Amino acid sequence: MNKITEIFKAWVAAANPTSEEQALAEYRANVCDSCEKKTYVSAINSFICGECGCPLSKKVFSPKPGLEACPLAKWEK
Give the amino acid at 42: S
The length of the chain, given as a count of residues: 77
**CA–CA separation, 21 vs 63, rounded Å?**
9
Q: Residue 76: what pLDDT?
A: 83
Residue-level pLDDT at 10:
96
46-49/38-41 β-pairing = antiparallel
- Mean pLDDT, the chain, whole residue set: 94
Report the pLDDT value the prediction gives residue 66, as an integer from 0 to 100: 83
Question: Which stretches of the chain score pLDDT less than 70?
Answer: 77
**pTM (2 decimals)?**
0.90
Q: What DSSP state is assigned to residue 74?
A: -
At 38, give phi and psi (nearest 5°): -65, 125
| pLDDT value of residue 77 | 59
Q: What is the pLDDT of residue 43?
A: 95
